[in-house]
Amino acid sequence: ILLSHCQCPTDGMRTLTIYIRAIKTNQDLLPETPWINILYDDFWGTLLTHSGSHKSFRPLCTLSFRLNHALDGLRPWGFHLVNVGLHAAATGVFTALCRPLLGGGTWSLLAGLLFASHPVHTEAVAGVVGRADVGAALLFLLSLLSYVRGCGGLRAWTWLWMLGSLGCAASSMLWKEQGVTVLAVSAAYDLFIFQRLRFRQAAVILFGKRNTSVLLSLSILACWGVLLLATRLYWMGNKPPNFSNSDNPAADSPNILTRTLTFFYLPAANAWLLLCPNQLSFDWSMDALPLVRTVADWRNLHTVAFYAGFSLLAFFGLRDISGHSSKAKEDSENSLVTNGKTLTNGHSYDPPDGHHNNHNTSSESGTPKTNGKSTHSGNGLTKPHPCTPRTAHPSLPGASTLPSTENVVVFSLGLLSLPFIPATNLFFYVGFVIAERVLYIPSMGFCLLVAVGARALYIRLRTRGPRGMLLGLCTGLVLVYSIKTVLRNQDWSNEEMLYKSGISVNPAKAWGNLGNVLKNQGQMAKAERAYRNALYYRGNMADMLYNLGLLLQENDRSSEALHYYKLAIGSRPTLASAYLNTGIILTNQGSLDEAKRTFVTCAEIPDENLKDPHAHKSSVTSCLYNLGKLLHEQGLQEEALSVYKKAVQKMPRQFAPQSLYNMMGEAYMRLNRLEEAGHWYRKSLGAKPDHIPAHLTYAKLLSIIGQKTQAEHYYIKAIQLGPSKGNCYMHYGQFLLEQSRLVEAAEMAERAAELDSSEFDVVFSAAHMLRQASLNEAAERHYERAAKLRPDYPAALMNLGAILHLNGRLQQAEANYLRALQLKPDDVITRSNLRKLWNIMERQGLRTTQGP
């Protein structure tokens, strides 16, 4: 509590920091925290309505973390096991979803394998907090699959499936915000897979001639989505989150052209990660992806190519192709056979009996026959929905046709793009530039798109050789993805490798986090170099300046540390931990007035718009504690108590209060208000039953009020708790000395000085106790040790002179008296002792030094 030993991560929202805030220091995971708090706090344990909250309302994910914590504490294997299990389940459900879209053979398997092995999923699965994305994806798929079943089910079950779909959609959103987009994906499925519409037909349904059943389902999806979003907005205080410039530099740019070009480029960059995940990073913030500032930037070509390709695929899927005889010929020639029945390659539609539309009907694939009936493609305006059973619908087992390639392409694009919309900065700014974990759900659309494209190409190839080559290429793609995923998992095997892997992408952030890791490993020189490398790339990172200052302070380079703390404060005036350690250094340097001003300034910093208000409040509380301690040492007990009370009021839930309570007891003791002192000593022991200082101070209080037996019990308990702490033996020895148990007191004094031979206070007190026990030789030895530890401390020299005086070493005693007077010329006791010494020396005929 005297020093803020907590390293500031280089960004409050990245990798190790995310783990620390979401799991390690998240009070909502602890058993003593009420379960209901999960509903009022964000993912990081901050109150949702707080101005610094990220508004990440994910109570189901937090609940899963809490259950992990309850079962096995913070042991990582349990957390990782759940993540891997969720990924396996999501892969299985996604593959099941692909079966009615691609068929139950090679192509649905290909889509599932691509999803299972895609390297971009490594962050979501290997990173513990990536569970938010993986769990949301599983519920996303269950919601979509329920909707699919409802579309083709029997009338009695249709609305039950619909309710299940809506419930899973809400649960997915409560696992992560992105999950609510499943409602839009379900609507895309309804229009382009179940209804098998083209663009003109969908427009007619939505804006022209009405189809009540279709509009009813779409209206339910839309209303449920609006209700979920409105409820969530209300629950988080009707305010968007605030992000720093480093989180999303484009959003902070004042230039509208820069913002526009960069935001248009970001989807292209994300699409490239899906297509070619060669370069991955734990962090893409700051300057990892430089802003697109001008039209001449060559990356605009990537943007144009991406949107052109996306538009061409959308046009291919949405165009009206009725009347194209070449298409009919192609479909007729490439029919498939399943279970002994001839099926088209997915370019036909077989409406139920009695529901043929007589307006502009035509066949996409000529007029092939299925079970003796003509197959026609209508505009879909009169099909019953969603309650009418279908004899040939892809959502049902034994379906006799698959949706057309064009329709699956459109659905794939929807599955790819709709879940990504929240990350586009289109409706609100987000707290990242690129986040690989956010691509977990959109990658489903990518995998499905690759599989349907491979299937379409396979059908068009005529001979076995090219088809075999295509299958080999697909197998190779899965193999390459798998190898890359294995290699990327090695990067995620430990923090050092992870941060080293990110140096090429984001050197400032990677070097900074690597410095934290090296410091924790005790490699101080390497850690310092890493911090300085980070500052080379980005010199105004307040957290990095603070971390470098902390490292220097812990290595007794206080002046350098003070310099970097002041730079950190200049870069971020709200960094309370920098004020705290600045005040501590100033106190140690004797600049007490400046230290007081620093502590007071820290205590007045509000926690508004801060990423981690809990950590801020902890630092503020520590500042008040140190300010109170400084006042206490100056004898200003009333002022110290006032400061301590403010600290108690401001301390957050996770703050360990035992030292604060103990110091309040000390202040009351100095004021001779013993009953109140006892109250705070007991509170300190209640907060931490093994808190040694509270045992010692409470024992002293009990001794004062005459409860000697109880006092001795607490002294002995303190020694049992800290058998290697000389301070415990010293206090117990003083107690024994007061009881005239001189031999025992001497033993405690010797033991204390032996254990803490480098601690001046312990050695000096031990020498004093030995002198009082008349063990002058031992006392002399320890006084000499104390004088060597603090050669410029007058009291140490005076006491050494006094014990030498008593032991007959008169000339040595004279020398120490004179040295003490040089440091404190007006000390009355030293002058008196020196005069007595000279009288003895004169009587013995010894030569004396000229006195003052």
Band of residue 104 on the pLDDT scale cut at 50, 70, 90: confident
| Residue whose token pair is 């509208």 | 256
Largest CA distance in the chain: 139
User: Do residues 146 and 25 make contact, with C-beta atoms less than 8 angstroms apart?
Assistant: no
Exposure b/e, 177-194, CB count within 10 A at least 16 = b? bbbbbbbbbbbbbbbbbb
**From CA 188, how far away is CA 184, in angstroms rounded?**
6
Residue with the bigger pLDDT between 50 and 122: it is 122
Asked if the model's pLDDT at residue 113 lies above 70, the reply is yes
Span 198-253, pLDDT tens digits = 777 766 766 666 667 788 888 999 999 999 999 998 888 877 777 776 677 888 88
pLDDT of residue 611: 77
User: Do residues 451 and 108 make contact, with C-beta atoms less than 8 angstroms apart?
Assistant: yes
Exposure b/e, 207-235, CB count within 10 A at least 16 = b? eeeebeebeebbebbeebbeebeeebeee
pLDDT of residue 146: 94
pLDDT of residue 143: 97
Span 603-636, pLDDT tens digits = 999 888 787 888 899 999 999 999 999 999 999 9
Find all residues with CB under 8 Å of 331, minimum gap 6, and list them.
344, 345, 347, 348, 364, 365, 366, 368
Mind giving me the DSSP string for 10-68? Answer: S-TTSHHHHHIIIIIS-GGGSTTS-GGGGGTB-TTS-BTTSTT------HHHHHHHHHH
pLDDT of residue 1: 30
Which domains does the chain possess?
Answer: 20-257+403-490 (no CATH), 723-790 (1.25.40.10), 792-851 (1.25.40)
Asked if the model's pLDDT at residue 797 lies above 80, the reply is yes
Asked if the model's pLDDT at residue 344 lies above 60, the reply is no
pLDDT of residue 269: 94
User: Do residues 723 and 751 make contact, with C-beta atoms less than 8 angstroms apart?
Assistant: no
Span 275-312, pLDDT tens digits = 999 999 998 887 888 999 999 999 999 999 999 999 99
Span 359-412, pLDDT tens digits = 333 333 333 333 433 333 333 333 444 333 333 444 433 344 788 899 999 999
Look at residues 807, 787, 806, 784 and name the one whose alpha carbon lies nearest to residue 796. 787
Burial class of residue 47 (count of CB atoms within 10 Å of its CB; 0-12, 13-18, 19+): middle
Find all residues with CB under 8 Å of 226, minimum gap 6, and list them.
none
Asked if the model's pLDDT at residue 2 lies above 60, the reply is no
Asked if the model's pLDDT at residue 517 lies above 80, the reply is yes
Span 79-99, pLDDT tens digits = 999 999 999 999 999 999 999
**From CA 543, how far away is CA 551, in angstroms rounded?**
12
Look at residues 621, 627, 546 and name the one whose alpha carbon lies nearest to residue 587. 627
pLDDT of residue 52: 74
With residues binned 3-state (H G I as helix, E B as strand, rest as coil), the percentages for the chain, rounded to 5, are: 65, 0, 30
pLDDT of residue 321: 46
